[in-house]
Amino acid sequence: MPTFRTFKDLSVTFKPHPVTGDLITIKDEAAIKQAVVNLLLTNKGERFFNSGIGSDIPRLLFEPLDYGTASLLQNEIRTVLGRYEPRIRVTDVDALPDEVNNGFEVEIVFEIIGREDRPVNINFFLEGSR
């Protein structure tokens, strides 16, 4: 019989539940999606007491807007998620330069380890901030 793992995290909004007043929690796929995006958008050295966690993605956003940088972004995403997110197995990463909006369209496809769910997609846009 397959095992079914469940995951729970606090919502990054830190809003209280309207009835109980407790912090809102998110579960399973939503919790992992939130963790993945937070991990990728964290600069290396930004977290106290664990300065190795994070990525070089913010630095790469100020490189030329081309397919070479998109390839570097894909590799960085695979490396960071493989190293710091043990709950998932990344199956595909795609980053496409978008010259009109001055950034990269990113799609990550992954499977949640310990579950027999369908693959999960995360789509987001990366752009350098000034």
Is residue 3 included in any domain, yes or no? no
Tell me the residue range of the domain where 77 lies.
Answer: 8-45+54-126
pLDDT in tens, 64-95: 999 999 999 999 999 999 999 998 999 999 99
Is residue 36 included in any domain, yes or no? yes
Pair 42, 76: CB distance under 8 Å = no
Q: What CATH number is given to the structural domain containing 73? A: 3.10.450.40
Is residue 1 included in any domain, yes or no? no
**Residue 9, pLDDT score:** 66
- E-strand spans in 1-116? 8-10, 25-27, 88-98, 103-112
Number of folded domains in the chain? 1
CA 130 – CA 18 distance, rounded (Å): 36
Residues 6+ apart with CB under 8 A from 99: 65
CA 95 – CA 56 distance, rounded (Å): 15
DSSP state of 55: B
**Residue 51, pLDDT score:** 77
Is residue 2 included in any domain, yes or no? no
pLDDT in tens, 11-62: 666 677 777 777 666 667 788 888 898 889 888 878 788 778 888 898 899 9
Give the global pTM.
0.80
Is residue 63 included in any domain, yes or no? yes
The percent of the chain in helix, strand and coil, each rounded to the nearest 5, is: 25, 30, 45
**Residue 33, pLDDT score:** 87
Is residue 17 included in any domain, yes or no? yes
Most confident of 3-17, 93-107, 109-123: 93-107
